[in-house]
Structure 1
Amino acid sequence: MNSEEEFYDAETDTLSKVLSDFTRSLQSYLVQMCSRKTLPAEMISRNNFSVWSILKKCIGMELSKIAMPVVFNEPLSFLQRISEYMEHTHLIHQACSLSDSIDRMQVVAAFAVSAVASQWERTGKPFNPLLGETFELIREDDGYRLISEQVSHHPPISAFHAQSLKQEFEFHGSIYPKLKFWGKSVEAEPKGTMTLELLKHKEAYTWTNPLCCVHNIILGKLWIEQYGTVEIVNHSTGDKCVLNFKPCGMFGKELHKVEGYIQDKSKKKRRVIYGKWTECMYSVDPKVYETYKKSDKKTGGDLKKPKQVSDEHSCEGEEADEMPEVQETVTVIPGSALLWRITPRPTHSAQMYNFTSFAMTLNELEPSMDRLMAPTDCRLRPDIRAMENGDIETASTEKERLEEKQRAARRERSMDEEDWSTRWFQLGTNPHTGAEDWLYTGGYFDRNYTDCPNIY
């Protein structure tokens, strides 16, 4: 093939990609146009409720067994919250289309960051899923479908499995969220492994999500930071990406920042990744990055020791943790490539539990949908539906009823010496990490729900 033919092939490939991206964007836009843009009612005020009366005896404790008033919730189940990992699925499609493993890794890294971006300013607690509860999500415009199930109640474990409609990828995991109260803040550790399989490339990536901390639970304005090291491993090539979600630091200079690098199997650094999980992520050549850091005294100086959440803090008699001023712009290093940018939230988001446009659609129940989905789907929960409609009294009453029904069912199983049997997932071994994991057994979308439990 001569150079001219190669040129036209390259031009054709570029045009094809542009058209493909445009088509996907148009499809996504049309779906969004048809989906609801707001919730039935605005966020319920929490001004007349004191969380301190509930949490003052829980300092240093794990909170999964503590019953919280429904007013501190948001009108979504944790299973629906998990599905928000899929908001930026276009990144997975992009990774599938790339021929170079390092290029794929940096896009997968951007996806891992984007998967937690919806937590920004989301200070409401999702409803704890009932044992056996499920949630399905089908997005033909984004080319995937997802099913999740609450597979354990104590400890609370949620399993999910998303698959491409064109057999391009599978994304799955099981999450055991551990919550601890430290006096002025609540720290959430999302224990569990994320696994992304790019089927065409026969690659599997795994990682765990960072820690999340909600400050000023008792006094002051609520604000969120995420911190910790996230290590993404390509089990097929040996490539690895190490991302550092930075604590805000003494003066808030590091708030929301994410920095890291990609190394190949020989441990040579190939790309540097940087940005903010609330805004955007970039990648750049390591040599360019080091040169830039050395030439810029402001970013090259020693950082102050990060301010950590302490288990010795007490709520009583202490001032609120002042939220650092958010610097909205990431300083872009010349020669960097944009990997991902967050989708702007709707203008009325603050009145809608700080939901994204994606989250706004998750509890939408269109006509006839209830006849197609499993009777255990979150959208059929009366307490979440009541809260979404602004009826806090009914939401609280229904939440108590459902929890008591769950306790009664557990007592009955105990008397009959029966174990709970999951419906769509089973406990097994993750083939890539060798660790225990909940794996999808298939069959949900065959629409046979005769054996589903009556949990509502």
Structure 2
Amino acid sequence: MGHDDASPPHAKSRETCQVEEQTHHDGDDDDDDSNEFFSSLPSSTASTGKDDERSIWGRTRLPVPMFSKNDFSLWSILKQCIGKELSKITMPVVFNEPLSFLQRISENMEYSYLLEEADKAKDPVERMELVTAFAVSGLASNLERLSKPFNPLLGETYELVRDDIGFRIVCEQVSHHPPVSAFHADSLHFKLHGSVYPRLKFWGKSIEIKPEGHLSLTLLSHGETYTWANVNCCIHNIIVGKLWFEQYGVMEITCQKSGLTSALTFKQAGWFYKDLHRIEGFIYNKQKSKLRFLYGKWTDYLKSASLKDYEDYMQMHAQTSFRAPDHPGDISRGSSASASPAHTPKKMYAKLNSFTRSLTGGSSGEPPKSPEPVDFDNGEIPKSDSTYSLDIPNSHILWQATPRPEYAPEYYNMTLFAIALNEMEDGMDRYLPKTDCRLRPD
């Protein structure tokens, strides 16, 4: 299986989707009712501008660029909130981006084509690979998204119907205290639902975000259900320096029917920043035996390698050594040639050893456990050096992130998918409920 071209497939025509819906029947009257409801909503594919001003998702720019926040201090707001739950703290609107949290949830669907491919795959291991890729892809849009989405009001909703792409999603704020958001998405190939209870805490120099809640996915052609929870994330340099973002912890995806488990470790940047954004893990069978090795960066891509290729790669580098830089910041600042990883392309064994121990829990075959958060803020912005990337022969790409436009920093570092989420098209207000995010006056 190869997925080197990981960009979203070309959109299907609406006529094709309608024919597929007429021929697809799973015997559930409730589904028929929901189909009738969703079909009454207009597709979000109407073109209202020049072709070069539109993407597959819609508009390519917000009506107004982001203004400078240099005159505003986040520390002046947060210094009274150390150790407190930030969801209960009123924040100035200057720190928000023009999206509701419900719309941020819908960004999980940007790479929904992976679930369609998973549903069509005949091999259960291949299905687990693609489901894992989808779970990782939903986090990619978080990179450098340092503005806070608006808190949804109780009963607020967001509906996105993309019959040209082949999915639809509805999100609703179902609780105010504590704030809980629920969502349901489906297509001809899958059903996905879950809830999110985001918990934010300020620890003096960083903000920790715990997205409590679980996601449940069913692949309709196989009757398989996959469950997982997202990992924690942290925003650094709250007091001094430029803000930067990392995600860490263990994401464990399980499928009861096949008995397969995918366990990915989202690695913390660490003192040398060499593991910034790295993800590594294995797919296990019922007996906890490893079947595939998965690796990549949650910001960019996910690859899969056979266990034999992974072990051969490990053995090939068994006699090499790694000399750490003289100082923790040398990698990000660019140290001498003798200490730079760029001049030691084969010296990866120490890194392989370390992540192997963390992934396997030592000698046992048990999936790894989530690490404790580490605070190492020093005001610098770490850089992820590509020379630390693994490149195991015969690996294939499961997913690759769509590049953001070069002007993304002008628009809150949003992806093209996110930029289009709040777009109101002609006639849409006649179909949307008054509770939809797009109709918020703020």
- Given the two structures, how large is their TM-score scaled by the length of structure 1? 0.74
Aligned 8 A contact 1:249 1:307 in 2: no
Q: In structure 1, which of residues 319, 322, 341 is the aligned counterpart of residue 400 of structure 2?
A: 341
Match in the other structure for 1:235: 256
Question: Would you say the 8 A contact 2:57–2:420 is kept in 1?
Answer: no
- The one-letter code of the counterpart of 1:181 is F
Instruction: Tell me the CA shift for residue 328 of structure 1.
Output: 4.7
1:203 aligned onto 2:224: yes
CA distance in 2, matches of 1:23, 1:361: 18
Aligned to 2:282, the other structure's residue is in SS state strand
- Distance (Å, rounded) in 1 between the aligned partners of 2:201 and 2:99: 21
Q: Displacement, 1:203?
A: 0.3
Q: For 2:69 and 2:10, how far apart are their aligned partners in 1? A: 43
> What's the secondary structure of 1:94's corresponding residue?
helix
Instruction: Give, in whole Å, the separation in 2 of the partners of 1:115 and 1:353.
Output: 18
Distance in 1 (CA, whole Å) between partners of 2:177 and 2:131 is 32
Choose the corresponding residue for 2:438, options 379, 395, 409.
Answer: 379
Cα RMSD for the two superposed structures: 2.5
Could you tell me whether the CA contact under 8 Å between 1:250 and 1:307 is conserved in 2?
no
Say which SS state the counterpart of residue 313 (structure 2) adopts: helix
| Cα gap change, 1:253 to 1:34, in 2 (>3 Å) | closer
AA partner of residue 374 (structure 2) = V
SS of the equivalent of 2:280 reads strand
Partner of 2:87: 64
1-structure distance, mates of 2:98, 2:386: 28
Partner of 1:214: 235
- 1:299 match: 348
**1:157 is aligned to 2:180:** yes
Identity fraction in percent: 53
Change (3 A) 1:284 1:25: farther
Aligned twin of 1:323: 381
Output the CA distance in 1 between the equivalents of 2:304 and 2:13.
27
Residues 350 and 270 of structure 1: CA distance in aligned 2, closer, same or farther (over 3 Å): same
Match of 2:374 among 303, 309, 317: 309
Find the counterpart in structure 2 of residue 244 from structure 1.
265
Match of 2:190 among 165, 169, 172: 169
SS in 1 for 2:264: strand
CA contact (8 A) 1:64 1:178 kept: yes
Match of 1:48 in 2: 71
Question: What CA distance in whole angstroms lies between the structure 2 residues aligned with 1:82 and 1:252?
Answer: 29
Partner of 1:99: 122
The offset of 1:194, in angstroms, is 0.8
How far apart are 1:326 and its partner, in Å? 2.4
Query: What is the aligned partner in structure 2 of residue 32 from structure 1?
Result: 55
The answer (yes or no) to whether the contact 2:159–2:171 under 8 Å persists in 1 is yes
Task: Tell me how far apart the structure 2 counterparts of residues 131 and 103 of structure 1 sit (CA, whole Å).
Answer: 40
State the shift of 1:71 in Å: 0.5
Report the Cα offset of residue 219 of structure 1: 2.0
User: SS in structure 2 opposite 1:102?
Assistant: helix
Return the offset for 1:368: 1.4
1:303 deviation in Å? 4.5
Which of 180, 202, 216 is the equivalent residue of 2:201?
180
Equivalent position SS for 1:64: helix
Amino acid at match of 2:270: G
Q: Which moved more, 1:56-65 or 1:241-250?
A: 56-65
2:294 aligns with one of 254, 267, 273: 273
| 1:282 matched to 2:340 | no
Equivalent position of 1:117 in the other structure: 140
- Give me the whole-angstrom Cα distance separating, in 2, the residues matched to 1:22 and 1:147: 23
Distance in 2 separating the partners of 1:322 and 1:249: 13
Q: Check 1:34–1:264 CA distance in 2 against 1; reply closer, same or farther (3 A cut).
A: closer
Question: Which sections of structure 1, spanning at least 5 residues, go unmatched?
Answer: 1-13, 314-318, 384-456
Question: Conserved in 1, the CA contact under 8 Å of 2:57 and 2:416?
Answer: no
Count of residues in Structure 1 that have an aligned counterpart in Structure 2 = 357
Kept after mapping to 2: 8 A contact 1:293/1:299: no
Kept after mapping to 2: 8 A contact 1:248/1:307? no
What residue ranges of structure 2 are gaps of 5+ in the alignment? 15-44, 321-346, 359-370
> By how many angstroms is 1:24 displaced?
3.9
